[in-house]
Amino acid sequence: MTEALSTGAIPLRREFKYLLPPERLPELRERLAALCQRDPYAGPDGSYLTRSLYFDARDLRLFHANEREDSKRFKARVRGYPDSPTAPVFVELKRRDGDVIHKVRAMLK
């Protein structure tokens, strides 16, 4: 069995998603660079791939809650970064209540 190295609750946050025209991306990246640190596992262009394995009940109730955009729902998943052999792998529980997101995760060996 794989042993968890560390666990932690990620602070509650509000999550909103917006679609922007591609030509706005350079400006957005420049502005965010002053506020954020680059992920250490990102590639030279700042991007990386993620691979997620989602868990669900036989009736796929978690999937369907997400598809319906239920205001209260959760996800159970394992997430990794396949292009970086040294990047961590996490087991995550992510819960949404309206626009408030709560995530707990454990890093695996």
pLDDT tens per residue, range 47-73:
888 999 999 999 999 999 999 999 999
The DSSP annotation for 31-64 comes to HHHTT-PPPTT--TTS----EEEEE--TT-HHHH
pTM of the model: 0.69
Give pLDDT, residue 17: 80
Identity (one letter) of the amino acid at 1? M
At residue 2 the predicted structure's pLDDT band, cuts being 50, 70 and 90, is: very low
Identity (one letter) of the amino acid at 66? N
